[in-house]
Structure formats: C-alpha cells, structure tokens
Structure 1
C-alpha cells in the first residue's frame, strides 16, 4: 500500500470505531507511538494493549477525521473525538495525528492535542 492508501484505510477504520482492527492490520511490529504527554510506547503489541485498556474505560466513542495530508512517507489528519467514560465524564477533543508509513505499515505515530474540559454526563 502507498502512504495515501494506508491513510485512507486508517481513516475508514477509525471513523467506524475499529481502532483495534486498524492497529492489528496497519501497524508495523516495531511501531513507535508518542502520546500527547510525551509518553512513548514501542511495539505493536504494547500499543495494542494500551489501546485496549483505554477503550475498556469508555462506554461510548464518536470519531471523525479530516482528509489526510500526505507528504512522502508521512501523513497527518485532524481527529475529532467525543468520549464517554464509565464514570459518566464526557470529553471532546480535537487532535493532530502525524504518521509515518513504510512498506505499507505505520511505523510511527504522534498526537498533538490541547486539553479539553471534561463535563459530567
């Protein structure tokens, strides 16, 4: 897959809330993820475990994205997310997601987001 094809597939899966499938299908075994707080997670299995833990803390998620901006091996999207946590808190955020795709797999991702205020359900 080209970088543009990887981006299109990622967007399709994310907007269908198929986050785990996206990682299983598109992430390289040695992916590096950098969270908004600077935390680094290395490896597909560790990234997938972190995602499963996060998704397990939610009762609902809504996701939409911008069209991808592709430059060589890199692409970025704006992801708007609405989350409802098990404790009833709701959070809306907008983040810029930057990815690197090599050999048809995502090898790097980093997220940039300003904190959003949580509100009771």
Structure 2
C-alpha cells in the first residue's frame, strides 16, 4: 500500500466516524501517538503501541456525549508522510460543547502508520 492509499483510507474511515477501525486496519502494532507538550502526560496524552492508542481512543469516545460535526480534509502527501486537518464539534460529558480543530501528521512505513502527531491549541 502506498502512503496515498493509507492516507485516503484513513480519511474515508475517519469521515465515517470509524476511528477504531482505521487504527486496527492501518496502524503498526508499535505505532506511537504524540500530543502537544501540554497534553502529553494526561489520560489522553502520548501513547506507545496499538493497544495503548486504542485505549486512548476508547477514553475519548467515552467522554463524548454527542457529535455535532466531524470534518476531515483531503490528505496532503509527501513521501512517507501525510497530514489532514480535522474539525470535531462535540458536546463533552461534564464539559459542554467543544469546537476542536487540529492538524494531524502521520508517518507511514511498510504500509502501516507508525506515528501520528497532533497539533492544536490547548485552551
């Protein structure tokens, strides 16, 4: 699978809200997830390994009460890297409505995502 194939598949699944399916299908077992420095050590912080990334996803989904908007841009691809802009407007349990926008950068090796890194402002 080329980087473009992985990128387009990830975008398709994320647009459908199938984040866990995307991770199980496209991520390497030893993939790494990197958050901004301010968030790195929290429960939704950095994660190493697919199992930890899946658990992080479960925790996030448990915190979501309702999704109002889920947008994912087309990917921008350069060799083994690609990025997408994501916009999630959701009501979070106990926190109210949150409008979240981020740039997500992915590294692909041997047809699998080996790293994801998220860039967003922490409010």
| Pairing partner for 2:88 from 56, 81, 84 | 81
CA distance in 2, matches of 1:16, 1:76: 18
- 1:37-76 aligned at under 5 Å gives the runs 37-38=39-40, 39-61=45-67, 62-76=69-83
TM-score after normalising by structure 1: 0.89
Q: Runs (4+) of structure 1 moved beyond 3 Å?
A: none
Which consecutive residues of structure 2, in runs of 5 or more, have no partner in the other structure? Answer: none
CA distance in 2, matches of 1:23, 1:86: 24
105-114 or 85-94, which deviates more? 85-94
CA distance in 1, matches of 2:66, 2:15: 13
Distance change >3 Å, CA 83–CA 49, structure 1 → 2: same
Question: Which residue does the alignment assign to 2:7?
Answer: 7
The secondary structure found in structure 2 opposite 1:114 is coil
CA distance in 2, matches of 1:20, 1:45: 11
CA distance in 1, matches of 2:55, 2:83: 23
CA distance in 2, matches of 1:84, 1:5: 32
TM-score after normalising by structure 2: 0.88
* Contact 1:93–1:115 (8 Å) recurs in 2: no
Which consecutive residues of structure 1, in runs of 5 or more, have no partner in the other structure? Answer: 117-121
The secondary structure found in structure 1 opposite 2:65 is strand
CA RMSD for the aligned pairs? Answer: 1.3
| Pairing partner for 1:97 from 76, 97, 104 | 104
Matched residues, number? 116
